[in-house]
Chain A
């Protein structure tokens, strides 16, 4: 093939090909072809998203306007009846309040714990890889396994936690009942802080060493360097962890795994302090069979998550620094 035979860009666009073929083929720009290629490659995801996300959400939205319970013959359309009931349902507000408190407590604690661990294992230690692996290991344990282990560990009558207390002459505590159950729940979150550690570690390793060395030469203490250089440069990572942490914590089903009887009705026996919003949703769906009402609860949660995420972005817009090469923006 000679150079002349290689189709030019113009040819490939189809603007001036051999006579005859121009009439038979429509003109297609590069941009159009690229768009087509993009949508072809992205189509599996787009189809999956439409079928597995958009369609169920739309179906749940429709259900939220009905009294559908899955099996009774006389279910009907109630308009905004479920949404109105939701505002007068004490369990909704209580569980929402507990969920907010849980998010406010568990998210900062887990980020601080994860960051602390990341700083530790970022230091030049012996067997650093082993420590990183061990600290990350709990995050790999399936949640169901973790739930069973925590239940056994904190059982009042046969759990190891009370065994340790007894060694020190302290009477056994009802860890899985109020008021201690909320602490066990927080512990389950902190136990998987290795997940956050890994992301923070990646962020730490992305910080240019020159900045820290310059600060040291200027006489900054380790704490000052951490506060004034590490944290600001890590702020996009911390923002990411905050947003995903809040979303995960309001959707958490961990109390279900700690429930003495993890059946639809059984979860309503959870200690009040761990009866979070998703437990209420779960109970309304599967214990009470109120698919319409539970769908309304989920739609309200969806909107609340959108609002909370927006507020987090707004509130942090002045304190999150993106270390972006200015040239790259051009």
Chain B
């Protein structure tokens, strides 16, 4: 905690500095010394953070005030509110974002602050300590994964990996997937069909869920797994008619058509896999490591649950991407960039980051925090073994900067159900998706230049 330069030290300030010093001293003496940034200030300022309610709890806000002396004012995350705030010249200072799809979109429009100078000075977030997943937040004006850093992920998962419930496998007499070797996507679907249980027109057990984080990024990942690329080299167009993209699309439509898991034609009212998996109604869940946060907390479910590597396509590539990499970025028009960076540093590298790492809700994005991942129980050790082996297969799958993932998803939602219901061939669907999505991308390219 640093006083403002030249400011007279009041009695209250003296006491708070003394208290801060005592806390810091105690932390150092306890042997868990926290690395604290000395590069950039911001103490005493108020930082407006646009986040979801879970990101910055009231307790965390109090802790920020105590740890770094920055007051945090939260605004609930909303794209339209973000645009309104930026348009009227009063942007938030830190904004939540999904690195895999938001970073190229916002960076291409010049609204994100280049954080390289901050990273260079930071003693908390050293570039060498950054997990490669943070490259999702890099953009060089053409390709995601290269160039300056515009943000950082708070934690991550390799989202094509899946959890499975051994009890449901046993009930259906289906073999478990191998521990470290991936199954093919076709094998995964076959297992899902055999695991599905139906009665009187109702699905009592879903064989497997495979929707990814956002369907467009899932389809991009599946296409890379099939050995191709959904986007053209300049990211200005999609092409679903290439053999690889056609294979990926065909597989996903098969998954939806067979109704082995939730999809837009068979929605899960819970809207996510957690409660359904916890209720023993979902045999396989395509959620990466982060679902372990929920599983670890359920003492009955945890010993039954196992993590498996991301499937692959025969003849394709073995990839295990992160489809989200949710984190924060600083708008280039922020009025409190230094203070925002101090919160950024604290949130991503200090006490909150350590708490997240030990909770099991995602892999920490600093390599140095990996030892904190839960590994007390046997089932946690088993999960860690699978996860550590999978990290070798991580790679950034770049997304287009010319459209939001939401807009491409909206188009997919409008066009694809006909194919999922068997009223449209996958080839015809590929053509329609090309037409609709390329119109959207063309408009986006014109707007960016």
Chain A interface residues (CB < 8 Å from chain B)? 67, 69-75, 91, 151-152, 155-159, 162, 166, 171-174, 176-177, 260-261, 263-266, 268-269, 272, 283, 285-290
Residues A73 and B448 in contact in the complex (CB < 8 Å), given A155-B269, A260-B264: yes
Q: Which residues of the partner chain A approach B200 to less than 8 Å between Cβ atoms?
A: 166, 171-172
| Proximity string of chain B (417-449) to chain A, C-beta cutoff 8 Å, 1 when within and 0 when not | 100000000000000000000001001101111
Interface of A is mostly: loop
Q: How many Å lie between the Cα of A285 and that of B443 in the bound state?
A: 15
Q: Which residue of A has the minimal Cβ distance to B409? A: A265
Q: Which residues of the partner chain B approach A171 to less than 8 Å between Cβ atoms?
A: 200-201
Q: Kindly identify which residue among B86, B409, B440 contacts A71, using a CB–CB cutoff of 8 Å.
A: B86
B contacts with A, residue count (CB < 8 A): 38
Docked-complex contact B267 and A260, CB < 8 angstroms: yes
CB proximity of B413 to chain A, nearest CB, Å: 4
Q: How many Å lie between the Cα of A272 and that of B420 in the bound state?
A: 14
Docked-complex contact A286 and B79, CB < 8 angstroms: yes
Docked-complex contact B413 and A289, CB < 8 angstroms: no
B265 within 8 A of A: yes
Docked-complex contact B447 and A288, CB < 8 angstroms: no
CB proximity of B213 to chain A, nearest CB, Å: 12
CB proximity of A267 to chain B, nearest CB, Å: 8
Q: Which residue of A has the minimal Cβ distance to B279? A: A158
Q: Which residues of the partner chain A approach B413 to less than 8 Å between Cβ atoms?
A: 265-266, 268-269
Chain B interface residues (CB < 8 Å from chain A)? 79-80, 83, 86-87, 106, 109-111, 200-204, 264-269, 271, 404-407, 409-411, 413-414, 417, 440, 443-444, 446-449
Q: Which residues of the partner chain B approach A75 to less than 8 Å between Cβ atoms?
A: 447
Q: Which 3 A-B pairs have the closest CB atoms?
A: A260-B267, A72-B447, A171-B201
Q: How many Å lie between the Cα of A74 and that of B446 in the bound state?
A: 7
A-B contact count (CB 8 A): 100
Q: Which residues of the partner chain B approach A172 to less than 8 Å between Cβ atoms?
A: 200-202
Q: Which residues of the partner chain A approach B265 to less than 8 Å between Cβ atoms?
A: 177
Residues A261 and B110 in contact in the complex (CB < 8 Å), given A74-B446, A162-B201: no
Q: Which residues of the partner chain B approach A269 to less than 8 Å between Cβ atoms?
A: 264, 267, 413, 417
Q: Which residues of the partner chain B approach A283 to less than 8 Å between Cβ atoms?
A: 410
Q: How many Å lie between the Cα of A157 and that of B198 in the bound state?
A: 9
Docked-complex contact B110 and A156, CB < 8 angstroms: no
Q: Which residues of the partner chain A approach B443 to less than 8 Å between Cβ atoms?
A: 67, 290
Q: How many Å lie between the Cα of A286 and that of B106 in the bound state?
A: 16
Question: Can you offer 19 A-B residue contacts whose CB atoms are under 8 A?
Answer: A71-B106, A71-B109, A72-B109, A73-B109, A74-B449, A156-B203, A156-B266, A172-B201, A172-B202, A177-B265, A260-B268, A265-B407, A265-B409, A266-B413, A268-B411, A269-B413, A272-B417, A286-B406, A290-B443
CB proximity of B183 to chain A, nearest CB, Å: 26
Q: Which residues of the partner chain A approach B444 to less than 8 Å between Cβ atoms?
A: 72
Residues A72 and B267 in contact in the complex (CB < 8 Å), given A172-B201, A265-B406: no
Q: Which residues of the partner chain A approach B269 to less than 8 Å between Cβ atoms?
A: 151-152, 155, 158-159, 260
Q: How many Å lie between the Cα of A290 and that of B414 in the bound state?
A: 17
CB proximity of B405 to chain A, nearest CB, Å: 8
Docked-complex contact A73 and B110, CB < 8 angstroms: yes
Q: Which residues of the partner chain B approach A158 to less than 8 Å between Cβ atoms?
A: 202, 269
Q: Which residue of A has the minimal Cβ distance to B268? A: A260
CB proximity of A251 to chain B, nearest CB, Å: 19
Residues A157 and B203 in contact in the complex (CB < 8 Å), given A67-B443, A288-B410: yes
Q: How many Å lie between the Cα of A116 and that of B404 in the bound state?
A: 49
Docked-complex contact B404 and A156, CB < 8 angstroms: no
**Most chain A C-beta atoms within 10 Å of own C-beta, residue among B87, B109, B411, B447:** B447
Q: Which residue of B has the minimal Cβ distance to A171? A: B201
Q: Which residues of the partner chain B approach A173 to less than 8 Å between Cβ atoms?
A: 201
**Most chain B C-beta atoms within 10 Å of own C-beta, residue among A91, A158, A283, A289:** A289
Q: How many Å lie between the Cα of A261 and that of B270 in the bound state?
A: 9
Docked-complex contact A74 and B407, CB < 8 angstroms: no
CB proximity of B422 to chain A, nearest CB, Å: 13
Residues A176 and B110 in contact in the complex (CB < 8 Å), given A71-B86, A283-B410: no
Docked-complex contact A74 and B448, CB < 8 angstroms: yes
CB proximity of A167 to chain B, nearest CB, Å: 10
Q: Which residues of the partner chain A approach B109 to less than 8 Å between Cβ atoms?
A: 71-73
Q: Which residues of the partner chain A approach B80 to less than 8 Å between Cβ atoms?
A: 70, 285-286
CB proximity of A92 to chain B, nearest CB, Å: 13
Q: Which residues of the partner chain B approach A287 to less than 8 Å between Cβ atoms?
A: 404, 406-407, 409-410
Docked-complex contact B407 and A67, CB < 8 angstroms: no
Residues A176 and B414 in contact in the complex (CB < 8 Å), given A70-B87, A75-B447: no
Q: How many Å lie between the Cα of A283 and that of B444 in the bound state?
A: 16
Residues A289 and B202 in contact in the complex (CB < 8 Å), given A74-B449, A260-B269: no
Docked-complex contact A268 and B414, CB < 8 angstroms: yes
Q: How many Å lie between the Cα of A116 and that of B80 in the bound state?
A: 43
CB proximity of A10 to chain B, nearest CB, Å: 54
Q: Which residues of the partner chain B approach A72 to less than 8 Å between Cβ atoms?
A: 109, 444, 447-448
CB proximity of A296 to chain B, nearest CB, Å: 15
Docked-complex contact A67 and B447, CB < 8 angstroms: yes
Q: How many Å lie between the Cα of A156 and that of B406 in the bound state?
A: 26
**Most chain B C-beta atoms within 10 Å of own C-beta, residue among A269, A286, A290:** A269
CB proximity of B384 to chain A, nearest CB, Å: 32
Q: Which residues of the partner chain B approach A265 to less than 8 Å between Cβ atoms?
A: 405-407, 409-410, 413
